[in-house]
Structure 1
Amino acid sequence: MTEVSLTRLNNVASHKLIGGGVRNVNVSLQYYDRQLAASLPNFAYFHIYGLQRHLGDLKAGMSSEDSSLKPSYEVPKWITADLLDVGEDMISSWENVYCEDPDNPDRDPPGYIGYRNVLRDAHREYKALFEAQEEMRSSGRFLSSIVTAMPKMPFTTSLRISDRPNRIQEKDAYFLDRDYYASMRALMLAPHTWSDAAVLYTRPDFDPPGELLHKLPVAIHEAGTVLRQITIQCSTPWSYETLRMSLSERSSLVASVQSLDAFSLLVDGINGRNGWILPINEGAPGLVFDLLSSFMSTSSLSKLTIAFPEFGLRPSCLFEVLNRTPDAQPRTVRLKGAAFYLRELQKYLDHFDLPCELILEVPDLIVGSWVDLAECLHNHPMVSTVILSSWGGDLENPEKRTQWISDEEKRLNDYLQKRTHVNPFINNEA
């Protein structure tokens, strides 16, 4: 949600040759935080914490190749103990900003005032970016700019909505570049993902623009663009309330997706973190599944992918939603993190009267036996199933759960794919 990104989109859309080659548009819903923009001490505290964490990762990576704390990226060779000392000096200098202690050239060690000025300059720019963001959101210009641009790109039929970080944020690397002032400034001016709100403050002063998850497809459809593919890939929002739709908004969303061929809701997080764990007491499941069922309310859907974090769903709630959308009979269904009762799965499979490929990734069978599950999937005349998981029913004792070895997973899938007629669970019981 930046002025630069909207300008780039408009330039691409206005160029007949380049715009004609665009097939998909990625809308990033990262944001700038109100409290960080409003308060230099808050901004200083956030980066004191961030740099401390980064230095700890670098030290772990330099001291041991096997450390669990080492960064996921390769630590540059030019990062030395002396550079880490510079980082510690930066933190010490910023602590004065956090405490609102004014500069004192007679007291401050060499370089401290310069380090603080880097922080102050970045904060001024961050504040300007936040103000521009708020203007774009309140005026509707962010939404209208995207809606206006897409019809100019006649072959654009795919929309991706995400809050995924860029390269700088992914590595959280204040010292990513040899010219570390450049990477430090880039990181300080980078927007945040939705899940960042949960670690910024106890009560962050920002509502992730979740309403755009349903408003964008509707506005794009009303402007004349037919969407064939939609992917939503956002980390957990601070509040799911922004996903709430009125009856008219829901009807508009359903109307806008009647030509949809593929839909993906990828909310399992990054590396197992920041996925959508739905708190039941806040009504989150109802809001999320109302949104999901709206996107699935079309008979044109041929590919459906839903990914939640493992144990992120209460038992059977996903299949409750799937069973409420009988018109959707995709040719490919991929479900990750689904916890279910066997009877709910059987009810869903009964909808299919045309061939379908079903992929169950880390499924969690709550009620029912793995013997019956395997037989149900093997015997279905229209559904071809693959299970991708590192654990499940014990082949020796299917009532117990265990860690699978690759050979056990293969034996199960050979049975599900009808390459053998020997149920591995029954065979081991005999």
Structure 2
Amino acid sequence: MDLPDELLMQAFGHLQTEATADTPIHCLDMCSSPEIKNVRLTCRRFRDTSSHLLIRFVPVEMTPVSLERLEQISRHPTISKGVLAVRVILHFYDEPLAHDFRLFINYQGSTSRGDKPGTEDLGANTERELAIAIGTGATMHELWQSLWDDPSEGTELGHQALCLLQRAYHIYQERYEAQQKLCQDGGFPQAVATAMARMPTAVGLEMRDGKQFGKQHHHDFIEQMKDEEKQLEEMVYPHEWYESTEQVHHVGHPPLELLAQLPLAIQLAGTSLVTLELRVSSPGSFPLLAQEAQEENLDLVLPMLRHVRSF
């Protein structure tokens, strides 16, 4: 094909919804097209002239694996040129739960009640499966509550539940330690800021605290109750901020300081944010923001917001 690269890039741009630096970050999900993946497989030239459209925003969590993915994308010679924003997911692991097994048991008991998802328009078979799953969830809740009172619960089912809890607790501790190491001395905000500075069009930042679609579908719930590994993964899923408002869950304060540290680090790394979106659930209080160090951070961040066109 004899068309110049510039025309090819424009043509491939029509395969997806147009996105600019002003496009709301939560809408960028709808601006990507699976056709770009197919185009990139056609030939080397098509790959080189369409790769900048492959990823419009990068989600990053407070985990080494997720941060490494952001790092790799930011260093890619073509893909990095099309990234418009970074979505930082600030769900977190809690220190008290990571250091106290009995507290972890109590937390699991308080959050695994087998609550019933919506059952509109379910077939009879699905309703039966859902009823069994709810019963399983309720049984696990009762077992974990009893293990809180007596960790030596001797029934076979109690032993299975305790083994599952011990596995979950070990994973939870590992993920908490990895998160702490990642965030030590401001390392996480600095790593995000450095990666964004490498991507010339990445001028949007979204901070959120959990899954994009938090409501659990009944099929997900059924599969989770059938599969021990799915139960395990749900048990060690990081906390959203609202959980710190529910005292029965014994979840401590979320990483509020990152709300100031992230945009500040991005600014200091040389990126002027155009879009800043905050989509975290409301925690019970904001004590960390009252600390003197955080007040100083806010004093530095507020002037920076003059450049933000969308907030």
TM-score (norm 1): 0.51
Alignment partner, residue 185 of structure 1 = 232
Alignment partner, residue 235 of structure 1 = 281
Structure 2 counterpart of 1:254, one-letter code: L
- Report the alpha carbon displacement of residue 232 of structure 1 after superposing the two structures with TM: 1.2
Write 1 or 2 for the structure with the bigger share of helix: 2
d(CA) in 2 for partners of 1:127, 1:221? 33
Question: Match for 1:256 among 293, 304, 311?
Answer: 304
- Report the alpha carbon displacement of residue 170 of structure 1 after superposing the two structures with TM: 3.6
Give the unaligned 5+ runs of structure 2. 1-61
d(CA) in 1 for partners of 2:71, 2:268? 19
d(CA) in 2 for partners of 1:247, 1:84? 46
Give the unaligned 5+ runs of structure 1. 264-430
Alignment partner, residue 326 of structure 1 = none
Name the SS of the counterpart of 2:307 in structure 1: coil
TM-score (norm 2): 0.68
d(CA) in 2 for partners of 1:216, 1:182? 34
Alignment partner, residue 171 of structure 1 = 216
CA contact (8 A) 1:176 1:183 kept: no
CA contact (8 A) 1:208 1:238 kept: no
Write 1 or 2 for the structure with the bigger share of strand: 1
CA contact (8 A) 1:41 1:100 kept: no
Q: After superposition, what is the alpha-carbon deviation per residue over 1:117-163, rounded to whole angstroms, capped at 9, x for unaligned?
A: 12210111011111222222332211111011111111101111121
Name the count of aligned residue pairs: 244
Is the counterpart of residue 48 in structure 1 residue 109 in structure 2? yes
Distance change (3 Å), C-alpha of 1:130 and 1:176: farther
Structure 2 counterpart of 1:48, one-letter code: G
Higher-Rg member (1/2): 1
Matches within 5 A, 1:54-93: 55-58=114-117, 61=118, 65=120, 79-93=129-143
d(CA) in 2 for partners of 1:256, 1:14? 26
Q: After superposition, what is the alpha-carbon deviation per residue over 1:260-316, rounded to whole angstroms, capped at 9, x for unaligned?
A: 2111xxxxxxxxxxxxxxxxxxxxxxxxxxxxxxxxxxxxxxxxxxxxxxxxxxxxx
Alignment partner, residue 144 of structure 2 = 94
d(CA) in 1 for partners of 2:193, 2:127? 46
Alignment partner, residue 114 of structure 1 = 160
Q: After superposition, what is the alpha-carbon deviation per residue over 1:48-75, rounded to whole angstroms, capped at 9, x for unaligned?
A: 22221xx2425xx56xx59xxx9xxxx9
d(CA) in 2 for partners of 1:84, 1:57? 6
Matches within 5 A, 1:158-307: 158-167=204-213, 170-171=215-216, 175-177=221-223, 179-201=226-248, 204=250, 206-244=252-290, 248-263=296-311
d(CA) in 1 for partners of 2:136, 2:206? 40
Question: Match for 1:18 among 68, 72, 79?
Answer: 79
- Report the alpha carbon displacement of residue 34 of structure 1 after superposing the two structures with TM: 1.7
Structure 2 counterpart of 1:142, one-letter code: F
Distance change (3 Å), C-alpha of 1:121 and 1:40: same
CA contact (8 A) 1:27 1:160 kept: yes
CA contact (8 A) 1:214 1:253 kept: yes
Higher relative contact order (CA 8 A, sep 6+): 2
Name the SS of the counterpart of 1:159 in structure 2: strand
- Report the alpha carbon displacement of residue 227 of structure 1 after superposing the two structures with TM: 1.0
- Report the alpha carbon displacement of residue 95 of structure 1 after superposing the two structures with TM: 3.4
CA RMSD between the two structures: 3.0
Matches within 5 A, 1:387-398: none
Name the SS of the counterpart of 2:246 in structure 1: helix
d(CA) in 2 for partners of 1:207, 1:232? 18
d(CA) in 2 for partners of 1:79, 1:56? 14
